[in-house]
Amino acid sequence: MKKEMRYLVPGDYMADPSVHVFNGKLYIYPSHDWESGIPENDNGDHFNMKDYHVFSTEDPMQGEIVDHGMVLDTKDIPWAGRQLWDCDVAEKEGKYYMYFPLKDQNDIFRLGVAIADNPAGPFIPQPDPMKGSYSIDPAVLKDDDGAYYLYFGGLWGGQLQRYRDNKALESADLGQADEPAIPARVVRLSDDMLEFAETPRPVVILDETGQPLKVGDNMRRFFEASWMHKYNGKYYFSYSTGDTHRLCYAIGDSPYGPFTYQGVILTPVVGWTTHHSIVEYKGKWYLFHHDSVPSGGRTWLRSLKVCELEYDEQGHILTIDGGGE
């Protein structure tokens, strides 16, 4: 299904949008692409991402997009190495908590927290990464009971294949084609929002027979870009398949899963892959994502997009044409 699309920040390269409603407005928290001069590779070394901006709007399809400026920079993070990839923000008791992945000085991705007094920042980073954290792409769910859950993980450059059972391996292992796929992780956050309250758990995605998706099922298995939203009381876990360039989703009855695969949200875009968020605002649902059309297809210079998202009567998301291959 083709949908009307809008580029949100045509004057700059922004990607990986996390979007939430705060104080009656939509706030957009993207990563920020810069020219790096580094040849493209599977580890993502060509992504020169060193700061975050925050944007807001009251009408994502036609209204003004307000740039609140730079709100966090790697030079202000004490443990920083390089590469601020996708982030997310949650509100609790009037404070705003930004969760971000960043390579430390040993080039290992950890997750950090930065705090602000309003959703437009600026965000002040904590002095150390979260204990026990690893990999990339944090996404936060505030559940109806007031608990907060953090989803994270990404393969290849996201380093998730370096871990099993939350412990680092001596060598990275993507697994054999017939083995269960490497899952994203989910963990409940501590009351102060600064640490894990428990050991992270696997986010298991099942096929139609109730079996976990396999490593070789790269048209459906998780790769990166976790997002969680609720619709009609169900938990919708959505994600990117990475090297097959789809956004897919699975549905469960608990924030921990398991989740049963349902289908494709967005077919491939122009660019290597995409990363997204799904949010309801003023009675409509929106899919925020990115592609590389404005940069001529250069996958490390991406641009934010938005379109409306729809469900059928059974709660299935109607597949949107991404406009790529």
> How many CB atoms sit inside 10 A of residue 163's CB?
18
Pairing of strands 303-309, 284-291: antiparallel
The b-or-e profile of 198-231 (16+ CB within 10 A means b, else e) is eebbbbbbbeeeeebbbbebbebbbbbbbbbbee
Q: Does the residue 322 lie in any domain?
A: no
What is the structure's pLDDT at 46? 66
Q: Does the residue 324 lie in any domain?
A: no
Over the chain (325 residues), what is each successive 10-residue block's mean pLDDT? Answer: 96 96 98 77 69 98 98 96 94 98 96 98 98 98 98 97 96 96 98 98 98 98 98 98 97 98 97 92 98 88 96 98 88
For the chain, the distance separating the N- and C-terminal CA atoms, rounded to the nearest angstrom, is: 15
Q: Does the residue 1 lie in any domain?
A: no
What is the structure's pLDDT at 122? 97
Q: Does the residue 315 lie in any domain?
A: no
* Amino acid (one-letter) located at 266: L
Peptide bond into 122 cis (omega under 30): yes
Q: How many structural domains is the chain composed of?
A: 1
Question: Residue 214 sits in which domain range?
Answer: 6-309
What is the structure's pLDDT at 45? 65
Q: Does the residue 321 lie in any domain?
A: no
CATH code: domain of residue 202: 2.115.10.20
pTM score = 0.96
Active site residues: 16, 224
What is the structure's pLDDT at 273? 77
